[in-house]
Amino acid sequence: MDLNLSPSELGFRDGLRQWLADNLSPHWQADFAKIEGKQAQFEYLRAWQRKVYDGGWAGIAWPKEFGGRGATIIEQVIFTEEMARAGAPNLPGVLGLQLVGPTTITHGTEAQKEQFLRKILSGEEIWCQGFSEPNAGSDLAALRTTATLDGDHFIVNGQKVWTSYGWAADWCELVVRTDPDAPKHKGLTVLLVDMKSPGVDVRPLRQMTGETEFNELFFTDVRVPVENVLGRVNDGWNVAIGTLMHERATLGAGIQIVIRRSFERIVELAKSLGKFADPITRQKLAQCYADIEVMRLNQMRAYSKMANGGTPGPEGSIQKIFWSELNQRFQQMAQEIMGPYGQLTKGSEYSIDDGIWTYNYLRARGNTIEAGTSEIQRLILGHFVLGLPKSY
């Protein structure tokens, strides 16, 4: 057991820190807040990704031959943590970088790699994922969006939901049913769909926080050339599921830093609101601190295991359950500490931190649903880790 960074890991971290010091404006948040309109804000973030790409820091986990750095798991964790620690803007092409790119590298044709990878890294093209449907959530393989072959094109019809970045995306990694007669996992195919194709309709999905983080996608007779099949026809489950495992495994590293920073802010607020001397508040804060530490340590153990040759596996469900439920407890505690101030939203002169805490409180409800509900995660642990009979 050695939790010190190795010389090469330290070199990696220091290089990144130096790059961030040279390239991340300390005032970026203020600059960003002045930008009017979602599209203009998005372009700001895209320009940031371009900068990251030019610095050689985009898609670091990708193999060198595809423009990455072949970074180790630990380096990926360092990257995620340092970006979060510096408060750097999100990379708007995150789905391409984390999910679509790696899947394309594994399953894509030479032509697909040539066409897509470089533009994913630079942010020139933004990707979304068309996975969930109104009737296919946890039971993803029940999806009904169809693609039927018509000459050298597939004709796609159906509806997707909970699509992050749908409105901004140039391309979509779409899972469709190509063989309605096969068992449900066997008849799926992944298509790479140009979002500008005729028949693609993107609608905003307003969520309970009031914002529209997600979209609904409607496909009506959308023509997709057969060369845009990713992997093999009717092998879409295998192609898509590797992506999901990856999503669960890496989601936690940045969240850990973000929650910790929020926690430090809440400790400050407890002090300034005169609550820090209250023994009950102290107990709650300390319990939350312990939970955040346990989350961090669980992640470090999991990453070490992956670094020793494991692939992201069903144990990732432990991390998913832990951070999502922890964040809900944390947001509740934050509300209790702020008392009546906790309810004030953006725009009130009395609100704390411009009302971000009300948003955080509501947004946290989504944590135990997105990327696999807590219920399905527990069943994954029951079946795939503990070896209990499959129950769903």
Partner 1 sequence: MQFGLTDSQVLTRNSAREFFSAEYPIAEVRRLCETETAHDRKLWRKTAEQGWCGMTIPEAYGGMGLDLVEVAAAMEEAGRTLVPGPLLAHLTATAAIAACASEEHKQRLLPALATGERIATFAVLEPNPSWDLAAVAMPACEGAKLFVMDAAVTDYIVTLTRDGVFLVDSRGDGVTLTPMPALDTSRKLSAVHYQSAPGLQLATDNNAVQRALDIGTTLLCAEMTGAMQRMLDITVNYVKTRKQFGKPVGAFQLVQALCADMLVATESARSATYFAAYALEQNLPEAQSAVSVAKSYIADAARLTGNNAIQAHGGMGFTWENDIHLYYRRAKAFETAFGDAVFHRERIAQLAL
Residue 151 exposed, middle or buried by CB count within 10 Å (0-12, 13-18, 19+): exposed
Q: Which is nearer to partner 1, 107 or 260 (CB)?
A: 260
Task: Tell me which H or E stretch contains 50.
Answer: helix 38-54
Pairing, β 146-150 against β 200-205: unpaired
Choosing from 247, 293, 370, 375, the catalytic residue is 247
Closest contact distance (angstroms) between CB of 5 and partner 1 is: 5
Closest contact distance (angstroms) between CB of 328 and partner 1 is: 15
Closest contact distance (angstroms) between CB of 31 and partner 1 is: 33
Q: Which is nearer to partner 1, 202 or 318 (CB)?
A: 318
Q: Under the rule (CB under 8 A), what is the footprint of partner 1?
A: 1-6, 9, 74, 267, 276, 279, 282-283, 285-287, 289-291, 293-294, 297-298, 300-301, 303-305, 307-308, 315, 317-318, 321-322, 375, 377-379, 381-383, 385-389, 391-392
User: What phi and psi, each to the nearest 5 degrees, are found at residue 265?
Assistant: -65, -40
Closest contact distance (angstroms) between CB of 257 and partner 1 is: 16
User: What one-character-per-residue DSSP string does 86-148 give?
Assistant: TTPPPPTTHHIIIIIHHHHHHH--HHHHHHHHHHHHHTSS-EEEE--BTTBSS-GGG---EEE
Q: Is 247 a catalytic residue?
A: yes
Count CB neighbours of 146 within 10 A. Answer: 17
- What is the torsion angle, in degrees rounded to the nearest 10, for the CA atoms of residue 154, residue 160, residue 166 and residue 169? -10
Nearest to 123 by CA among 84, 168, 167, 88: 168
Question: Computed over its alpha carbons, how large is the radius of gyration of the chain?
Answer: 22
Q: Which is nearer to partner 1, 6 or 29 (CB)?
A: 6
- Which amino acid belongs to residue 243? T
Q: Which is nearer to partner 1, 74 or 202 (CB)?
A: 74
Q: Which is nearer to partner 1, 173 or 315 (CB)?
A: 315
Q: Which is nearer to partner 1, 115 or 328 (CB)?
A: 328
Closest contact distance (angstroms) between CB of 388 and partner 1 is: 4
Q: In whole angstroms, what is the distance from residue 87 CA to residue 28 CA?
A: 10
Closest contact distance (angstroms) between CB of 126 and partner 1 is: 33
Contact 103, 336 (CB under 8 A): no
What are the catalytic residues?
Answer: 247
